[in-house]
Structure formats: structure tokens, C-alpha cells
Structure 1
């Protein structure tokens, strides 16, 4: 599948929609997105992917309408929003959850009301809902192993965690800890939260760097935090001028461009792996397919995107300010997620 930037894909998709959309039938469904957190580039692109798919389906008469609700990261607000969607009698709710467990009660109420619920990315564990997840533990362990191999199995590292309280943050952190336990010569100097956001990660690292000895590598969690991490070390300067630590990439195109420049200047090496915000579109098409009677497993796993020395130059050509991601179409969902 060809990788591209979701914002460009959304614009192209919307530009191709007919001026005279097909009329939805009177019983056409309404599909909603309950997104707990909207504070970083990844979540913005995820919402854009969902909306692009929803607009495509609405123009084709497949749905009557769609609703998008974005939250502040709190469980209380998301519980309230899902309760409101139940009252609106929507047909499907796609949930990027504030907590793996704390929204289960309201999700069970939605299911009891006959609503199909698909939690994705930050999933909920309610028994009735479908989970569209990433293998956060698997890919983050593989990335940490790759970085530690670049270090030769020893050195000092800084850990940057993601969205506090989310299931992905816990899974990725625990995966990193399991890898670090195998390398007694790798020392963790400090752990900070970057909220998968460049500005937050940059500020958090800038606050701790003056008190730390030399940092050889940074284990992060993805989103747009990677370029913020790099900027913090660049601005700090000193011992890091011309010799930056190995910073895990999280799929940010600004980081990939910086990495390519550093690689050209001094052979800088790292690896980038990231969950793909295009999952928002996949969640939409999955929910619509389930509503129409398709069958799918209760747990489905999405692919991740990887950038390394072999494809760095290609990805460095992408526009800045985005997260690397493919788009996921209805055909892709049918081929890769639905039960054969």
C-alpha cells in the first residue's frame, strides 16, 4: 500500500466527490466518533481520516450523517459525550478511549441500546465492543531493541512517555521496561511525559536536561513528540552539537526531514516506527460494515509504519507537519479486517 499524508488524501478525496451526492435512504445510519483527546497532530489526522471517510459515505448515500465529538482527555467528559450519543440514537460509535476501563460502563449501555461500538487506538475493554488496536507492545519492544543495539548494549537513556493515562502509553512503556530489564548496562536517567506533542515534549526535556549527565539515546512513544525531542537537544547545544543522541522516531515528517539532514551531514542513524492515524478511516468503514451485517473478530490489529536507512530519503520528501500514514479504504477493511 502506498503511504501518503492524510490531510492531502482527505483533500483529494473530497475534491473528487460529486457535486450532487446520492440521497440517503430514510433508514440510513448515523455514525459517530467519540475521541477522548484532540491535543496533538496524530489525533488531528485521525479525526480528519474519519471525517474524510464519513463524507465519502454520506455523498454516496451510505449514511444519513455523522457526528464527531472531541474531548479534553478526561474520562468524565467522554462518558458524558457517549451518553449524549446514546440519547441521539446513533447507530455506530467509534471510540478513541480516555481509559481502557473507566468508559466501559457507558459503552455497555450503548451496546444494550443496540449501538455497535468500535474502540480503536486507545481501546476500551468492555466485552461488547470491538477493538481495533495496534500491537503497541510488540512494535515498541522491537524499536527499543533496535536502538539499544545501535548503542552496543550500554549507555544512558531518557524515556519520554505519551498521553498520560491512556492504554497505549501504558503498553508502550511496559514494553520498553521489559526490554531494558535485559540490558543492565543501560541506565535510565529520567522519565518525562511528552503527551505525543512536540511542544510538550520539548519543554519537558528542556526542564530536565541541565540536571542530567550525557544522554546517549531517547526512548519515546511517537506522534509529533520526536521533533520536539530533537529540538530540545539542538537548543541545549553544548556536548550535543554535532553529536545528537539516538532519538526514536515516531513517524513525524518534520523529524524524518531533520533526521535526513543530520544523516547527510554526519551519518546520524536511528529508526522510526509509528501507529498510523489513518486508523480513523478504518474505524469508520469497519463500523459501517458491521452495521450492514459483516462479521469480524472482536480484536483486530492494524499495521505500523517503519522508516529506516533504506527508505529514509523517500519519506523525507513528504510535506512537513504531519504523521506518516496510509489511508484505509472500505476495500482495505474488507480484505484485512472482516472475517473471511
Structure 2
């Protein structure tokens, strides 16, 4: 039976209500999924749909799933987007278990609070991959980024760029998520090694331009001159830059060193200032193309692959040296390659044996 897939692949704005309606419609319309390793049904449970990174990730999953379906390799796929709460994601995964899907890729609302329902899925014979915001259930496969490693390297670069002293704003990501906790911990560790750097404000940007802009704009009037901003990625970099642009004053002449998170809008902003006055920063970001990698990994698990239980994805890095290579990206996207089945087999599955 055909399963209705409900998603908004071109949307670039936060449509929480529509995403919730979409999830409900998909569950209501979908009939029982016949479990079949020959032609499996692969599902995506995405806990949060409120920023451009997550939209692009869902698009990557859907593109891979559509390719597999068109080629007759899967029976169907289901995409469910949530409101960021554990309760809703638990409910959605429970419905997917009842539908007897063959595999579920999960961008989790919590590292621990969805573990119980994941264990139920595993006991039901469903292959589970958590990715990006991973879950720690022992039975699931984790496809993650080295959030602590790359964020440590980026924070080090930025603080060295300002000479190891000055005032810094920290803009955190999606509240309650595992990536936010990991990246913030890495930033705190780097800050401890720079005693002459003072954190003058810490706000949440939700990896979203509008939220980050508002959060930074609200605190700027009460702060001394800011020399750098440590952020987390998504499109928060664009919102941070816009907040300083609109505030003006001394920032019209000397903009703080803002960590880039891979937003094409930020890279375009940076490129203009680099050409005009040599503005320099660094952008490092997790790649939303992981959605496609998660699909192919889930598919391979159903087909009998035995990858490592924990796998690490690469991040994308933009510097002054390669800035021109990315300056012409379309607006509203995050720097990311796409990941094919062949890439997954070579770089994730075969990594277990070193092949």
C-alpha cells in the first residue's frame, strides 16, 4: 500500500504548525507497511523543523529516498517532522513501530528521552539510525559529527584572531539538543584557556537567523564593545551579522569576528566585506546532506550491512582562502555536499574493516 509522504522541500521559513499538520496527515493516511527486506519501507523521524538546516536535511533524505523508490529498491518512505518535543517524537516513533516499517532514521529531540521507544523499535526488528542529534540507546546506530572537535578548532581560531583578549558573545543552538550541549562544552573549554577573554552575554539562537538576530539585538545595548561571537551554525550566523549591522555605531567600522555556520547568506555578507576591507573569519558547519547519508545507511542496514555502531561525518570549512568558491551559492542554503550510497558504503560501512 502506498504511504503518503508529507514534507515541504522548498520551504525556507519556520512553518511549525504546517509541519505538525503534515506529520498528522502522514500518519493518518498511511496504511500498514509490509516489512520486506527486498523492498523495505524507510522512515525519517525529524524532531525539529524550525530552521533552514533541518529543512535542507529533510530535502536530502527525501531526494535519496525518492531515487531509491524510483529505482524500485524500496516500497516507500515516510517523513515525519515534529515540534521539537520528546513527547511528539515518542508518539511518532510508536506509530512507525505499529506500521512495521523496516528502518527509522531519527534526528532526536533528546539524547536519552527517546531511548525507551527506540529500544521497542529494535525489539520489533526495526533497524534504527540516530543522526545529527543522536540518541544513546545501545541498540541504535549513531551517525554523528565531531561537534566538540570542530567547534573547539573554530573557537580557537576566532579567539586567536582577536589576540586572545576581548569581549565575546556566545550564541547557543537548539535548546536541549545533544549538538548544543557538545558545542557549548567545547567552547567553554577553549574559553578557559583564554583568561583574558570575557563572555559578556550568552543567548540562544536556535540555529535560526531570525531568533539569533533578535537575541543578539536585545543584549547589544547593554554590552561593552564586542570583539567576537562564538556561534553554533545553521543560519544563526546571518542573524548575528544582521544584528550588528542594524546596531551600527562603532560596528559600522569594525565588525566583530563572527563564527560562520555555513549559511550562504552569511558567506555572501562576509565576501562583500572581505573585498571591501579585508574582513576575515572562518565558517565551519555540519552538513545537512547527512539526511541522504542517513537514508542510505538505514537502507544498507536492512540489506544486512554491519557498520560500526558509531560513525562520524565530515564538516564543511570555508576560509578566506576558499571564500570565492562559495560566494555565488544561492541564498538560503547551507554549505553541504550530497552523499550517495557509494559514499556511505566506502566512508561509513567499510570503515569498520578499514577497507
TM range (shorter): over 0.9
227, 251, 275: which is aligned to 2:286?
A: 275
**CA–CA distance in 1 between the matches of 2:130 and 2:239?**
29
Corresponding residue number in structure 2 for 1:207: 218
**CA–CA distance in 2 between the matches of 1:86 and 1:135?**
30
Q: Is 1:78 matched up with 2:89?
A: yes
Contact 1:121 1:132 in 2 (8 A): yes
| Superposed displacement of residue 27, structure 1 | 5.0
**CA–CA distance in 1 between the matches of 2:253 and 2:69?**
52
| Superposed displacement of residue 320, structure 1 | 1.1
Secondary structure of 1:338's aligned partner: helix
Corresponding residue number in structure 2 for 1:11: none
RMSD: 1.2
**CA–CA distance in 1 between the matches of 2:115 and 2:208?**
27
**CA–CA distance in 2 between the matches of 1:266 and 1:188?**
27
Corresponding residue number in structure 2 for 1:290: 301
Corresponding residue number in structure 2 for 1:145: 156
Corresponding residue number in structure 1 for 2:21: none
| Superposed displacement of residue 242, structure 1 | 2.1
| Superposed displacement of residue 26, structure 1 | 9.6
Corresponding residue number in structure 2 for 1:128: 139
Corresponding residue number in structure 1 for 2:235: 224
Secondary structure of 1:126's aligned partner: coil
> Which deviates more, 286-295 or 119-128?
286-295
Corresponding residue number in structure 1 for 2:5: none
Greater RCO, CA 8 A, separation 6+: 1
Corresponding residue number in structure 2 for 1:241: 252
Contact 1:242 1:266 in 2 (8 A): no
**CA–CA distance in 2 between the matches of 1:313 and 1:49?**
25
**CA–CA distance in 2 between the matches of 1:296 and 1:57?**
20
244, 263, 279: which is aligned to 1:252?
A: 263
Secondary structure of 2:275's aligned partner: helix
Corresponding residue number in structure 1 for 2:17: none
Unaligned ranges ≥5, structure 1:
1-5, 8-24
**CA–CA distance in 1 between the matches of 2:147 and 2:81?**
23
Show CA shifts across 1:242-262 (max 9, x none). 211000000000000000000
Corresponding residue number in structure 2 for 1:323: 334
Contact 1:200 1:228 in 2 (8 A): yes
TM-score (norm. length: structure 1): 0.92
Runs of 4+ with deviation above 3 angstroms: none
163, 171, 177: which is aligned to 2:182?
A: 171
Show CA shifts across 1:91-121 (max 9, x none). 0000000000000000000000000000000
Q: Is 1:261 matched up with 2:269?
A: no
Secondary structure of 2:254's aligned partner: coil
101, 108, 116: which is aligned to 2:127?
A: 116
Contact 2:129 2:143 in 1 (8 A): yes
**CA–CA distance in 1 between the matches of 2:149 and 2:62?**
29
Unaligned ranges ≥5, structure 2:
1-8, 11-35
46, 59, 66: which is aligned to 2:57?
A: 46
Corresponding residue number in structure 1 for 2:4: none
Corresponding residue number in structure 1 for 2:207: 196
